[in-house]
Amino acid sequence: MGYRNYIGSLPKVEYDKIKNLTIDEIRQLKKIDEEDYYIGIHDFDIKELHEFGKYVEFGDEKFYTPFFLNKQVQEHIADEHDFYIVTKEFLKHIIEHYTEVVKKWYEEVLPNNISPKDLTEKQLESVWNHLRSIKSEWCYLTPYNLEKGDEITTSWKYEYSVFELVRLYKHFDFENNIMIYYGY
């Protein structure tokens, strides 16, 4: 399955209860056996909002704020995982990055004033691979899930997921919730 990256949320009321805890206090609260050294992301009630998939290239740590105020706890969890609070600016950064990646790809593959007969073999192969990928997503999977979650699209394709990120950007309740970027 591999390492995957997500955006999730947690009510600020819940966050305020755990943000200053020590490792021992978290174990006590979450009833984690002391012999089980590991405390992980799944020990907290984070609502998954969007899965980025396996490979992300937008990571800019200037947008990351440690989840825990207790440095020891943050280091413990972040040792093997990404686990940070992010803001609306983080979403905007990703949306703009995805937009530029998509534009660049289309400009490289189909520059202005080019006819189909002028396409290079490399351009044709790129278009072909892209169409095969889209066909696979629509014919063998689906880029959405009507039953699970609030996501509009479950696709990892930048062309689709940018719209999911715009939805989150416009509708996430930052006043009452924190947004979390995490990976495991």
Q: Are 7 and 86 in contact (CB under 8 A)?
A: yes
CB 6 within 8 A of CB 52: yes
Q: What is the pLDDT along the chain (184 residues), one digit of tens a residue?
A: 578 999 999 999 999 999 999 988 998 888 888 776 678 888 899 999 999 988 888 778 899 999 999 999 999 888 888 999 999 999 999 999 999 999 999 999 988 888 889 999 999 999 999 999 999 999 999 998 899 888 898 888 999 999 999 999 999 999 999 999 999 8
Using one digit for the tens of pLDDT, what is the confidence trace for 17-71? 999 999 889 988 888 887 766 788 888 999 999 999 888 887 788 999 999 999 9
Residue 2 burial class via C-beta count within 10 angstroms: exposed 0-12, middle 13-18, buried 19 and up: exposed
Q: Which domain holds residue 161?
A: 5-183
Q: In this structure, what token pair is assigned to residue 57? A: 């290239």
Number of domains making up the chain? 1
What is the pTM (predicted TM-score) of this model? 0.88
Which residue pairs, CB below 8 angstroms and at least 24 apart, start in 79-84?
Answer: 80/184, 81/40, 81/41, 81/182, 81/183, 81/184, 82/5, 82/181, 82/182, 82/183, 82/184, 83/41, 83/180, 83/181, 83/182, 84/180, 84/181, 84/182
Distance of CA 155 to the CA centre of its chain: 12
Place of tokens 């021992």: 24
